[in-house]
Amino acid sequence: MTSATHETALLLPACRVSHFDGWTLHTADRIPSTNPVAGKRLPAWHALRALVQTAAYGRTGRVWTSDPGGLWLSANLPCPGERARWAILPLAAGWAVTGALRELGLRTAGLRLRWPNDIMIGPRKLAGLLVERFTPDTATIGIGLNLTNSPERIDAALTGATARLCDHLPDAACDPDVVLRRILAAIRRAHAMIADPEQGFAPIAADLNAAWSDAPSHVAITLTAALGGATREGRFHGIDADGRLRLAFDDDPVCHFYDATQIELLRERGSLH
């Protein structure tokens, strides 16, 4: 991609603009990827939604299929001060989105957050999140959520690997505007918790660990992690206060801690239904 083409891809297209609950929402029909456009063109407390993304990506640059009928959204949050304070934002955002889906009525037993940024129903992926920094004091939370779309029609490799909200909730609860508002409200609440020195990430981490420990599948989940070129298989033991993954290995039962930058690839094995 040439420099001129790259800059064109980052232009904010004609959008429909609405305001609610402290957010300004920009809705476009088609965008290459909402994250860089929102992160470089919009201020904090603004969100950008695209009906279709043509060049979306996930963690480590993986292609993210964004066909019509999904919710493709990027939301900008103010993150002043030390970056380390906001390092837990991906997990906090995942916790917020999962909570918003429960508020909408999603009571499926298999609903869970998979560290660090995937929302699953059993072994199938319902949503993915990607948090990026394009300016020093603002974080952009990208959210891709399958509503009524069919990713496997675009990429056959996704057959059996994805979940859709419409298969678990009535049509009214899957309305993109309803889902979007609920998610943005939940993200705003999570941000307020992190920004509050008396709360911070601790209650979110405790809630996540409790959910993982209570899940019937917890004891059966084994993670295969690619760590600097080496692959190791370990038992999942939740997260620490900084949001780092806790793994115990058969040859070393003491828990080891990893942040998202240290793990190149994570695969699950075990009973996830």
Q: Which of the pair, 4 or 202, is modelled with greater confidence?
A: 202
User: CA separation (Å) from 153 to 147, 167, 214?
Assistant: 14, 16, 35
Cβ-based neighbour number of residue 20 at 10 Å: 12
Amino acid at 42: L
Answer whether residue 273 shows pLDDT above 60: no
Instruction: Tell me if residue 235 falls in helix, strand or coil.
Output: strand
Q: What is the model's pLDDT at position 59?
A: 75
Report the share of the chain in percent with pLDDT over 70. Answer: 88
The per-residue pLDDT for range 150-179, each reduced to its tens digit, is 998 888 888 899 999 999 999 999 999 999
Q: What is the model's pLDDT at position 142?
A: 98
**Cβ proximity of 166 and 174 under 8 Å:** yes
| pTM for the whole structure | 0.88
The per-residue pLDDT for range 114-130, each reduced to its tens digit, is 988 899 999 899 999 99
| Residue 167 DSSP class | G
Distance CA 111, CA 121 (A): 4
Mean pLDDT of the chain: 87
Q: Which of the pair, 88 or 154, is modelled with greater confidence?
A: 88
Quick one: tokens of 269? 């094995």
Q: Mean pLDDT throughout 82-100?
A: 95
Q: What angle do CA 187, 191, 192 make, to 5 degrees?
A: 120
Cβ-based neighbour number of residue 154 at 10 Å: 13
Instruction: Tell me if residue 140 falls in helix, strand or coil.
Output: strand
Q: Which of the pair, 221 or 187, is modelled with greater confidence?
A: 187
Q: What is the model's pLDDT at position 179?
A: 98
Answer whether residue 224 shows pLDDT above 80: no
For the domain spanning 9-214, the CATH number is 3.30.930.10
For the chain, give every domain's residue range: 9-214, 218-269
Distance CA 222, CA 243 (A): 18
Answer whether residue 191 shows pLDDT above 80: yes
Answer whether residue 98 shows pLDDT above 80: yes
Q: Return the CATH number of 218-269, one of 2.60.40, 2.30.30, 3.40.50, 3.30.70.
A: 2.30.30
Answer whether residue 216 shows pLDDT above 60: no
Distance CA 168, CA 160 (A): 16
The per-residue pLDDT for range 14-58, each reduced to its tens digit, is 899 999 999 999 999 999 999 999 999 999 999 999 999 999 988
Answer whether residue 271 shows pLDDT above 50: no
> 119 - beta bridge partners?
113, 127
Q: Find which of 8-12, 97-101, 245-249, 264-268 is predicted with most confidence, using mean pLDDT.
A: 97-101
